[in-house]
Amino acid sequence: MTQLDQPLRDGGTQADREADREMVHLAEAGSVGELDHYVSSLSTSEQAYALSHLDEAEIEKVLASMLPEHAAQLIGHLSEMQAAMTIAAVEPDTAASIVRELSSDEMADVIGDLDEDQAEAILNSLPQSEADAARELTAYDDQVAGGLMNRELMRFSDGMSVADVITTLSAEHDRYDEYDIRYGYVCDPVGRLIGVLPMSQLLFVKRSQSVQEIMIRAPLSVSDDLPLDDLVEFFEKHPFLGVPVVDTEGVLKGIVHREAVDYASVRASESDYLKSQGIVGGEELRNMPLWLRSRRRLSWLSVNILLNLGAAAVIAVFQETLQAVIALAVFLPIISDMSGCSGNQAVAVSMRELSLGVIRPTEMFRVWFKELSVGMINGTVLGILVGLCALLFEGNPYLGLVVGFALFANTLVAVSIGGTVPLLLKRLNVDPAVASGPLLTTITDMCGFFLVLGAATALLPKLLPV
């Protein structure tokens, strides 16, 4: 390991920290070839790290100094959010020249993540046909086949011969060079998909033959509004690398690749996790605008203040009991936290099963019964353990009984809520990743405090020192 590669205390290596400076230096020197070569020599993570440490003016300078195709490769290596932030930092004409070099799905992702004014400024700088195609793609939701599809495919008419196909491939080899060339797609005069043409077949048939004679008829396809979960299920059932996407009329719109679906599924899981932690929008980078990051976090934190007032109100009602048996204060957070952990486990399982499609929002009673079964066992074990701790701590068996019962009962409440609330929210078309966590936390806190303090109030004479 060289001195340049030594890890720094604040993360990264010296090479990481100097990459952004070198990019700016080469851009300022006007060394386009050297800049392109230097950036291409960096790994994907090094490129992302370097760009994240540049301000907007420096990003503009670097991207404007690169050839558009090389700048597009750099953008294509970034996360969707960072790619959009990077493109937003450059002038519309420069941004348009870069996004033109992206694949259609990447272009739609980047433009779709921009502010409306920024997106329109870039689209207005594109040729009309490309702008219209980009607008069509960005109109789709990110989590459906139309939003994930790629428009770069080989389309042939049903009246073509094998010789016509080969001539077309030769004449337009520059355009097809970066396409997925394993299959071509045969369409009728109005663009409806009627067959798939394995390109390898062209080597073993007569050139005079019609494509209709060698194509695969009635090929499998998916609708452009098919949700991501159904796409995942489709690729689990079929060993395809891609599948054509059609609209309601059967017109071929593009192709969605297995790789794109896998990536979108992972991104959806990451987004759900961030949402469950109160990150509205499901995405945040620390080089995003300060006020945007603050506003997104506060939107849930401020709501949580109101929700937690309910738990505080329960304590206020029983403050005399709490003052009389101060040892209860030691066990309140334990019961709250342990119940919350049990509930979060149930939430995670329900979210996972929803994403896999193995349960439906209508199966709440079945899920509830399954969670109660686990809750009875785990609640009993946890209740006994915390009860024994209370007995050893205070030497009063009634204190152990109170806290043990409270944890047992609150565990049942937590797994019931954690298991069923995601299904209920899904049925109400509310994002379960966003709302399940706060609801679970608030209700388990309120119930836990009520169970502990309520039971303690009922047994107060037994809990007071003799």
Spatial neighbors of 309 by CB under 8 A, at least 6 apart, are none
Tokens of 57: 């003016």
Q: What angle do CA 227, 228, 232 make, to 5 degrees?
A: 125
pTM, whole model, 2 decimals? 0.62
409 contacts: CB under 8 Å, gap ≥ 6: 379, 447, 451
Contact 181, 137 (CB under 8 A): no
Phi, psi (degrees; rounded to nearest 5) at 357: 80, 20
The pLDDT score that the predictor gives to residue 319 is 85
Q: Which amino acid is at 320?
A: E
- Distance set, CA 131 to CA 134, 144, 330 (Å): 5, 21, 63
- Give the span between the Cα atoms of 391 and 398, in whole angstroms: 8
- CATH 3.10.580.10 residue spans of the chain: 155-276
The reported pLDDT for the residue numbered 5 is: 40
Per-residue confidence (pLDDT) for residue 179, from 0 to 100: 65
Q: 126: which strand partners? A: none
| pLDDT value for 369 | 92
Q: Phi/psi at 140 (nearest 5 deg)?
A: -80, 150
Domain with CATH 1.25.60.10 in the chain: 3-139
Token pair of 349, please? Answer: 């399982």
Does residue 332 contact residue 452 with C-beta atoms inside 8 Å? Answer: yes
* Residue type (1 letter), 458: A
**Following DSSP, what letter does each residue of 91-127 receive, concatenated?**
-HHHHHHHHTTS-HHHHHHHHHTS-HHHHHHHHHTS-
pLDDT at 176: 66
Question: How many Å apart are CA 119 and CA 260, to the nearest integer?
Answer: 23
According to the CATH classification, is domain 290-463 in 1.10.357.20?
yes
Q: Helix (H, G, I), strand (E, B), or coil: what is residue 326?
A: coil
CA distance 403 to 407: 6
Angle at 231 between CA 228 and CA 234, to 5 degrees: 160
CB atoms within 10 A of CB 201: 17
Helix (DSSP H) and strand (DSSP E) numbers for the chain: 23, 7
Residue 102 to residue 112: CA distance in whole angstroms: 14
**Given this model, what pLDDT does residue 435 score?**
65
Over its length of 466 residues, how does the chain's per-residue pLDDT go in tens digits? Answer: 333 343 333 444 455 557 778 888 888 887 777 888 888 888 877 887 787 778 888 888 888 888 888 888 888 777 777 788 888 888 888 888 888 888 888 888 888 888 888 888 888 888 888 888 888 888 888 889 988 888 888 888 888 888 888 888 887 776 666 666 678 889 988 889 998 888 887 878 888 888 888 888 888 899 999 998 889 889 989 888 889 999 989 999 988 989 888 888 877 776 666 666 555 555 666 666 677 667 766 766 677 777 778 778 888 888 888 888 888 888 888 898 898 889 888 888 888 788 767 788 888 899 999 999 999 999 999 999 999 998 988 888 999 999 999 999 999 999 999 899 889 888 887 777 666 777 788 888 888 889 999 999 998 888 887 5
pLDDT the model gives residue 4: 34
- Name 255's bridge partners: 150, 244
Q: Which one-letter amino acid corresponds to residue 92?
A: P
Q: For the domain made up of 3-139, give the CATH fold.
A: MgtE N-terminal fold (1.25.60)
Q: Are 401 and 387 in contact (CB under 8 A)?
A: yes
Strands (E), 288-364: none
CA dist., res. 424 & res. 354, Å (int): 11
Q: Which CATH architecture has domain 155-276?
A: Roll (3.10)
> Where in the chain do CATH 1.10.357.20 domains reside?
290-463
Of the candidates 374, 336, 341, 352, the one whose C-alpha atom is nearest the C-alpha of residue 422 is 352
